[in-house]
Structure formats: C-alpha cells, structure tokens
Structure 1
Amino acid sequence: MTENSFLYSRADMPHTPGGREVRSIDGSPSSIAAHATAIEDLGQKMASAALTLELFADGTVGKGESFEAIREQAKKVHADLSTAAKRYRPSGEALAAYGRSLETAQGATGWRVSGAERTWEEVRAASLALGGATAEKREWERNERNDVEQTGTAPSDASEQAAFDAAVEDWEYYWSGFDAPTETWEGAYEAACSGLEKVNEDGVSDSFWDNSMPFVEAMLAVLLVVGILLIIVAFVVTGPLALLAGVLAAVAGVLSLLGEIAKLNAGRGDWQSVALAAVGIIPFGKLAKFATFVNPGKFPQLTAVFRIAGDDFAQYGSKLDDFLKTRIPDLFEGAHGLNSQNLMRVLYTPKFLLQGNVRVDGWRAGWQALAGNPTNAAQAIGGAADVYVRFLGTLAGVNSALS
C-alpha cells in the first residue's frame, strides 16, 4: 500500500529516482544523420582535393609554364586542406554516432514519457479521491470517540486506496524506467561533444611548427623588407652604415634560413627555398679573400667557416672600437672595466653610424661595395655569387609574397 501525500496531487510530476525530469528528448536523428553524412562527404572531397593539389605542388602532374602559378598556389593550400579533411571526417563520424544513440534513446523513452504523463493524471485524481475518503473516515472516527450520534454505516477508504495503489503502480512503471535509457543518451551526448572537441582542438594535433607559423611567416615578411633595405644601403654608401648593413644581413640570413626550415617542417615550404636561404648565408667573397683559413694545416675547416661568416661582426666591432679610441683614448687601456666599455659602445653607436658615410660613385662602385670590394678574380667571382644569391633570394621572396 502506498501512503498518500500532497506530492501525488501536484500538477508537476516528481523527478525520477535519478533526479531527472520526465520529458521528451529533443532532436531529429534523421536531420543529424543527414548533417553527419554531408560533413563526412565534404571531408572525403577535401582529402581528395588535397591529394590532387599535392600532386600539382610536387610536380607529379601538370607540366609546363602554364601550371607554375597553379603549383605555387597548390603548395600553400594542400596542407591546410588536408588538415581540414582530417577534422571534418571524424566530426561527421561523431555526429553520426550521436544520431544513432539519440534515435535509440527517443525510442526507449518516448513511450515512457507519454505513459507517465497519462498515468500521472490518474494518480492525481486517485490521490484527491483517496484524500477525500480518508478525511470522511477520520471525521467519523473522531465523532465516535467523542460520542457524537451518527447515522448510517461507517465510511471506508479501502476502495479509494486500492484505486490509488493501482494508479501509482501503473505510473511508476513508466516513471522509474525513464532513468536507464536517458542515462545512456546522456553518455552518448557527452561522448559526441567530447569527440567533436577532441577532433577540432586535439584530434589533429598541431605541431610546434604549425603553432609557430603565424610568427614565422610574419618574421619572413619583415626580413624580406629588411633585406631589401640592407641591399639598398650596402649599394648606395660605404662606411659605418654599410658595415652595419653587413652585420644585419648576416643575422637576417640566418633567421630566414630558420624560417624556411620551420615552414618546411610545417608542410608549407619547399627544399628549394631552404637551399636558397642556406646558400644565402655562405660568404663566397670572404671565402675567396680568406682562403688560407680553410687550410687544414692551419685551421680546422668548420671553425674557419664560422670565423669567415662572422667577419662582418668583427669588422663592425673593430671599426666601432677605433672610433671610441678617438673619443676616449684610455677606454681600452685597463682604466675601465668591460661593463664600462660595453656601455660606451652602446652610447656612441649612433654617432659612429652617422659619421664617415660616403655615397658610392656610380653603378660599378655600388656593385663592388655589395661584392665586398674584391681585389682579384677569385674575390670578384665569390662576391658576384654573393650579390647574385642575395638578389635571387629577394626576388623569390617578393614573388612569394605577391603570389
């Protein structure tokens, strides 16, 4: 026998033992399935398109000059398109799995919801009837205890209690069975959400290089502009500014090489650009000028190359120190510590850069300045190679930026 209480007469149905509200589960499994199929199909098409673009990019298909513009664009697009395909297809699979779970859950809960709503009205009516019968019974019993004269037979609530018990039993069949399939659906919903988040955030895990691409590409764009300015400065003037241009060009060359390697690792670059950037940091003119450094009997080859490559830094530092000696003769005589010397270098650098700069006299002098002012045929050939590589790298960078 179920004890009657005000809970059974309320309009709102109590929550289930699992604390859930008995209600229909929203959503259209067929619509979700259609979206999932469309997403999976789109992912497959993206993958096919990415593969085709990759074939264009690596030259497997499409020969001739008419394909060059397509090839350059394909290099930029195919990696991103392939990544998008990897995200779309698992997203479609996650949605499809949820659509199937939703359909199952709706089939298992729909009839329970409608049954619980229908029988709840019967429970409420039976509860009110039982409440009225019980009140009459208790009033009769109270009058009996108080010796109040009464006529007729004593009222009973037995039939109302039986009707109430039956109504509650019917209702609980639907009501208590709502938790299990709903819990399964909730798990499927969470799995679908987690699956979509995993695919879009962690499922296609971007590498360090992928995450660095915005910075790397911006750095290469800045270095392109810097490289053009350095070429102009080195071509137009000689003196401290030209020395500084050489130092900055060496730094820019190393950074450009690192940037091209980063792009290659992220699937957005090519070996041609890496090779061009690598050749660009080799000082052919200085190798010819300091050929004795490479003599294994006097200097290890690897160390010699680094020493030659750093010659711009050495020349700049030497000229700056010579300039400082004219301003502070005893700066390097031991009267001042290293910190003081470095401080003076920083303070006097602007003045150093503004003095002694001379405009070159014509195109020939400008070319010789860019080539390192060669004094023999070997240095001229090496310097010409340096100029050619610098111009070639700059033109390639401009073409890449405009395409």
Structure 2
Amino acid sequence: MTENSYVYSREDMPRTDGGRRVRHIDGDPGVITTEAGEIESLGEKMARAAATLQLFADGTVGKGASFDAIREQAKEVYEDLDVASRRYRPSGAALGRYATALSAVQSSTDWRVDGAHRTWPDVRDASWALSSAEGDQREFDRNEDHDIEQTGTRPSTAGEQGAFDSAVETWEMYWSGYDAPVETWEAAYETACSSLERTNANGVSDGFWDNAMPFVEVMLEILFYVGIALLIVAFFVTGPLALLAAVLAAVVGVLSLLGEIAKLNAGRGDWQSVALAAVGIIPFGKLAKLGRLADFADVGARFPRLSGALRLGGDEFLQYGRALDDFVGARIPGLFDVGGPHGLNSQNLMRMLHTPAFLADGNSVITSVAQGWRNLAGNPANALEAVGGSIDAYFQVMDSLVGAGDRLS
C-alpha cells in the first residue's frame, strides 16, 4: 500500500530519485550521424590533400622553375590542411559515438516519458479521491468522539486506496526506469564534449591577429571617418585648428598603416590597401625641401641633412608645439625662460590649461578652392614644394574617395 502524499496531488510530477525531470532527450541521431560522417570524410580528404601537397613542398615531386615558385605556398597550405585534418577526423568520430548514445537513450526513455506523462493524471486524480475519502472518514471519527448521532457505518477508503495504489504502480513503472539510461547518455555527452574540446585545443586555433581583427577593423572604420573630418578642417580652416588637424592626421595615417598591415598579416587585407596607406603618410611636400634641410638641422649636427630629415618627419608636431608655446608664453611672460622659476611640470600644466583658448583663437574659414588646395599641399614656397605638396593633397583626397567607394559598394 502506498501512503498518500501531497506529492501525488500536484500538477507536475516529481523529479526522479536522481533529481531529473522526466522529459524527452532532444536531438536527431540520424542527422548527427550524417554530419559526423561528412566531417570525418572531410578530414580524410584534407589528410590526403595535405600528403599530396607535402610531396610538392619537400621536392619529392614536381621539378622545374614553375614548381619552385609555388613550393613555399604548398608548404604553408599542407601544414594548415594537416592540422585541420587532425581536428576534423576525431571530431567526426566523437560526434558519431554521441549519436549512437543519443539513439540508445531515446529508445530507452521516449516510451517511459510518454507513459509517465500519460499516467500521471490518473495518479493525481486517485490521490485527490483518496484524500476526499480519508477526510470523510476523519469527520465520522470526530463525530463519534463527540457523541454526535450518525447514520450508517464508518466510511471505507479501501476502494480509493486500491485505485490509488494501482495508478501509482503503473506510473512508477515508467517513472522509476528513467534515471539509468539517462545517466549513460549524460556520460556519453560529457565524453563527446571533452573529446571535441581536446581536439580543438590540439587542432586549429585562432592566432593573436585573428582575435585582434574585430578591434582592428573597428579602429580602421573610425579612423576613416576621423580622417575625412580632418581633411575638411585642413581644407577650409586656417589657424590653430588647422595645426591640430595636421598633427592628428599624421597620427591617423600611421595608425591606419599599422591597421592595414595587421589585416594583411591576418589574411584579411591586401597589398593595395597597405600601399595606399603607406604612400599616404609619405610627406612628399616636405621631401621637396631636401635642398634646404640643413636649415632645419640641429646646431653642430654631424649629418645636418639627416638631422633635418628627422625634424621634417615630425614637422606637424613641432609647428603645433611652437605655436602653442608662443600663445602661452605671451600670456605668462617668463614661463619658458631657461633657468627661470617655472619647471617642466608647471609649463605642461599651463599648456594644458591654455589649449582650449589657443585652439579657439585666430582661426579663419576660407572659401577659395585654390587656397584650400594650397592648405592641403602645405602652403608651398616654390614650384618643387608645390609639386610635392600637390602629391600629398592628391593622395589624401584619393584615400578618402577609395575608402568611401569601398563602403558604398
């Protein structure tokens, strides 16, 4: 005889002794088996292709200049294929074993799940009926204890108890057998996951640049729009804002070149983009000043032209720094005096505090296209500098147009 309990009167059936809810195990073993076979077959094909390419790579087959030209590429490809095949074949085998375990657990549990859910309402109804009969019996006994006259004999619960015991026995036949096959399936699932993780750890994995690509690509996208904004400022504005735009444009150019090199290294870029970014940071207009480089050199420099070239490479920063210092020095006399009372920390603090006023002072907007072009060209002083500066301006504009075209296409 099964003792009635609130557990049997609930809407949802209780968990099994193993703490599991009685439910169908999801998944299609047939589909998984097919996919596993295809993955394993692909791994076999990769292994055969890798073995063939290795023969080219080590010179076993293929003689002549034409084969020599592709031998290095064959070496790189065969190594990647070999690693990929060592990942795919065991992955397919692991999935195949899991599909077998999944098929077994579904065969063992599907009918149990269906039967448990089908018979549970009978258990619940029988539990309620037994509880009602037991309530009638308790009420009769209470009346007897208080000498209340009653008609009839004491109610019996035998019929309700028998129906309840039968319903529970039928339901438990399905419910109690659920744990064992599911435990076997859970072990197979964990084994498959461990096998796949182990294979992935020993197989193909993303390198540093592959992981860094999302950041690099977002950075390049931001730099593109920043570059367009700086180009507009350089074309239409003169004064401190134009000097700051030149400094930022130099930084943007270098970062863009590094980003394109990173994309190329990760196999997502191309030489054309790298070349365009590299040409974009070459200061052709400043190179035209090579004849006057000694004027820019450090005093007493052993190689004045080389020293001058290095200075021209950072000319934007020097011009901006000199203009800012002149602005701050005019407002705080003696700030930059050598041996004066103001140290480097005080000077840098004053530079920072006065930068907003400096950038807002003395700017002007031009409407002449010719003057705007001269601004982009660096305001050349002679024909040679005009040619070099025009090349700079041309590549700045072309870089923006090419980038815009790529994004629109």
Structure 1 residue corresponding to 2:314, chosen from 283, 295, 310: 310
Counterpart residue number, 1:258 = 258
Counterpart residue number, 2:333 = 329
Counterpart code for 1:219? M
Q: Is the 8 A contact 1:240 1:357 kept in 2?
A: yes
TM-score (norm 1): 0.58
Aligned-residue CA RMSD (Å): 4.3
Q: Deviations over 1:126-153 (max 9, x none)?
A: xxxxxxxxxxxxxxxxxxxxxxxxxxxx
Matched, 1:358 2:367: no
CA shift in 2, pair 1:242/1:193, >3 Å: same
Counterpart code for 1:298? F
CA shift in 2, pair 1:324/1:265, >3 Å: same
Paired with 2:31 and 2:305, the residues of 1 have a C-alpha distance of 72
CA apart distance, 1:32: 3.4
Counterpart residue number, 2:207 = 207
The DSSP-based 3-state class of the residue aligned with 1:330 is: coil
CA apart distance, 1:372: 0.3
CA shift in 2, pair 1:44/1:258, >3 Å: farther
Q: Deviations over 1:287-310 (max 9, x none)?
A: 112444389973474x65442221
CA apart distance, 1:246: 0.4
Aligned length: 277
The DSSP-based 3-state class of the residue aligned with 1:356 is: coil
Matched, 1:298 2:303: yes
Q: Is the 8 A contact 1:324 1:345 kept in 2?
A: yes
Matched, 1:383 2:379: no
CA apart distance, 1:30: 4.8
Q: Calculate percent identity across the aligned residue pairs.
A: 61
CA apart distance, 1:204: 3.2
Q: Deviations over 1:344-382 (max 9, x none)?
A: 101101111111112235111100010001111210111
Q: Deviations over 1:170-221 (max 9, x none)?
A: xxxxxxxxx9xx9998876444212333566774311111111111111111
Counterpart residue number, 2:249 = 249
Q: Is the 8 A contact 1:36 1:93 kept in 2?
A: yes
**Matching of residues 4-43 of structure 1 within 5 Å:** 30-38=30-38
Structure 1 residue corresponding to 2:323, chosen from 319, 322, 330: 319
Counterpart residue number, 1:94 = 94
Paired with 1:250 and 1:304, the residues of 2 have a C-alpha distance of 18
Paired with 1:209 and 1:220, the residues of 2 have a C-alpha distance of 15
Q: Deviations over 1:2-23 (max 9, x none)?
A: xxxxxxxxxxxxxxxxx9xxxx
Q: Deviations over 1:14-51 (max 9, x none)?
A: xxxxx9xxxxxx888655322313556789999xxxxx
Paired with 2:98 and 2:364, the residues of 1 have a C-alpha distance of 75
Paired with 1:277 and 1:310, the residues of 2 have a C-alpha distance of 18
Paired with 2:304 and 2:90, the residues of 1 have a C-alpha distance of 58
Q: Is the 8 A contact 1:371 1:383 kept in 2?
A: yes
**Matching of residues 44-123 of structure 1 within 5 Å:** 91-99=91-99
Matched, 1:230 2:235: no
Counterpart code for 1:399? G
Paired with 1:41 and 1:349, the residues of 2 have a C-alpha distance of 66
TM-score (norm 2): 0.57
What 5-or-longer segments of structure 1 have no aligned partner?
Answer: 1-18, 20-25, 47-81, 110-178
Q: Deviations over 1:314-369 (max 9, x none)?
A: 00000000111110011112121110100110110111111111223511110001
**Matching of residues 392-403 of structure 1 within 5 Å:** 392-403=398-409
CA shift in 2, pair 1:282/1:89, >3 Å: farther
Counterpart residue number, 1:271 = 271
Q: Is the 8 A contact 2:285 2:392 kept in 1?
A: yes
CA shift in 2, pair 1:282/1:190, >3 Å: same
Q: Is the 8 A contact 1:221 1:401 kept in 2?
A: no
Counterpart residue number, 2:116 = none
Deviates more, 1:390-399 or 1:280-289: 390-399
